Amino acid sequence: MIKKINLKLIILSVLSLCVVAALGFGSYVLYHIIPSGFQSRHAEGPKVLTELLQMAEQSKPFNPDPYIASTYRPDNPLYQPVLEIQRHRWDIAEKLLKPLVEKGNADAMFWLGDITYGSGLYSAGPAAKLFQQSAESGNPYAALRLDIDNSDCQRFMSGYCNEKWGKLGRKILKQRAENGDVKAAYYLLKLDIDVYSDSAEVHQKLEQLVTENAKQHYYQPLMNLVRTYLWHIIYCPYLDKDTPVSEQEKRLAIKILTLAVNNNFPLAAATIYDKKNTLSADYTDKVIAHYEKIGLGYYMCWDYLFSKGKKTRNNIIKVASCAITSGSLSYRNHNLSSFEMDLEDESLDALSEDELSQARALSKERINEMTPVIYIDEMNPASP
């Protein structure tokens, strides 16, 4: 009789646990599937960005100030070292940053820490110390790199991660935001967004901060938001993640991005080029010609003039010059050899010595005329 009672109790206990687990799992699923107010607002698409759409309509190609959207201008001592980081020439950047670090430049400490981080087996300690120095000198983004919740910190600098750094980073961002720094206000909001539980008002606040940053020609927030519209990532309702983006949404998103393109922001140019079927051929021609001076990548040059363009010898020389330029300015020096393989695959004549000479001369001319824009910053550093 005792054994039977114990068996019943065990069965009841197991069933109770199963019910609790099922309820918990069901609640979890519903929490992620039922759109929050934030997600419902986002699902309305880029049409809600009315002020940005109006600003885009009023903008014209191209802002005469080539550095209007650049993180640093040429007269800033950080311009050249950060440009070299953007080009992945960290060896040059390190030499330029060290004297600035010795003078106590907090931002230089951040950037030197950034390129030191993950660069080798024993880089964690030196990188963390640089981030600590930078944070103690007032850089909130350096402090956030050492936050206990930062996955990058946990990956290589776990022994240095501490919640005190996250608190310090937030404190400095809050102080800056209260003093009118809309970039700080944007990243402070981003730190706290929970798409599954936040309200539509939070999304509207995000829209407002994206707009205010765009007015100051800081376009990373705009890029981040438009990407979520173009590829249905992060913010969209769970059930919409695999649904295709409508053509109307694509056109509105690209239209908004022309605001950044017309104000010389290279990342926006690369994005709209990938969606260039929504743009006029005339505008695309203007973008390619203009962006040769402020930061045209080899891919755009190759794709526009060779892959999708006419394979004339004149265009082939231009693409070769783009390859030579990219090899001269960045650590990627294989583009010319890769292009020569493309010519062979297309059964086209290899570059003659005279054509290579023309390409080198064109590359030299292009480099002399360039006004490079820096598009990376502390919250959007260059990828390894």
pLDDT (tens digit per residue) in 127-186: 999 999 999 999 999 999 999 999 888 888 988 999 999 999 999 999 999 999 999 999
Domain closes at, from 249, 279, 309 = 279
Residue 73's closest CA among 242, 298, 321, 294? 294
155 and 188 part of one domain: no
Q: Place 19 in a pLDDT band, splitting at 50, 70 and 90.
A: low
Range of the domain at 193: 180-279
| Distance, CA of 201 to CA of 208 (rounded, Å) | 10
> Strand, coil or helix: what is 377?
strand
Indicate the DSSP class of residue 351: P
Domain closes at, from 247, 279, 311 = 279
pLDDT recorded at residue 27: 45
Looking from the CA of 143 toward its CB, the CA atoms found within 13 Å total 18
What phi and psi, each to the nearest 5 degrees, are found at residue 155?
A: -70, -50
| Distance, CA of 175 to CA of 171 (rounded, Å) | 6
The answer to whether 169 and 140 are in contact (CB under 8 A) is: yes
What phi and psi, each to the nearest 5 degrees, are found at residue 258?
A: -65, -20
| Distance, CA of 202 to CA of 196 (rounded, Å) | 12
Paired tokens of 155? 């990956």
Sign of the Cα torsion 341, 343, 347, 348 reads negative
Q: Give, for 342, the enclosing helix (H) or strand (E).
A: helix 335-345
143 and 102 part of one domain: yes
**pLDDT per residue as tens digits for the range 23-60:** 544 444 444 569 999 999 999 999 999 999 999 999 99
Residue 241 lies in a domain: yes
Asked if pLDDT for residue 21 goes beyond 60, the answer is no
Residue 300's closest CA among 329, 264, 272, 332? 272
**pLDDT per residue as tens digits for the range 240-271:** 777 889 999 999 999 999 999 999 999 999 89
Of all residues in the chain, what percent are helix, strand and coil, respectively (each to 5)? 70, 0, 30
198 and 247 part of one domain: yes
84 and 147 part of one domain: yes
Paired tokens of 13? 């206990």
The answer to whether 110 and 134 are in contact (CB under 8 A) is: yes
158 and 185 part of one domain: no
Paired tokens of 182? 């809309």
Tally the domains of the chain. Answer: 3
pLDDT recorded at residue 77: 98
Q: Place 236 in a pLDDT band, splitting at 50, 70 and 90.
A: confident
**pLDDT per residue as tens digits for the range 193-227:** 999 999 999 999 999 999 999 999 999 999 999 99
157 and 226 part of one domain: no
| Distance, CA of 189 to CA of 187 (rounded, Å) | 5
Does residue 62 have a cis bond before it (omega within 30 degrees)?
yes
The answer to whether 67 and 373 are in contact (CB under 8 A) is: yes
Judge residue 240's burial from the number of C-beta atoms within 10 Å of its C-beta, 0-12 exposed, 13-18 middle, 19 or more buried: middle
**pLDDT per residue as tens digits for the range 78-124:** 999 999 999 999 999 999 999 999 999 999 999 999 999 877 666 88
pLDDT recorded at residue 261: 96
| Mean pLDDT, rounded, for 229-240 | 85
Paired tokens of 287? 């973008």
Say which CATH number the domain at 82 has: 1.25.40
Residue 14 lies in a domain: no
Let me know how long the chain is: 384
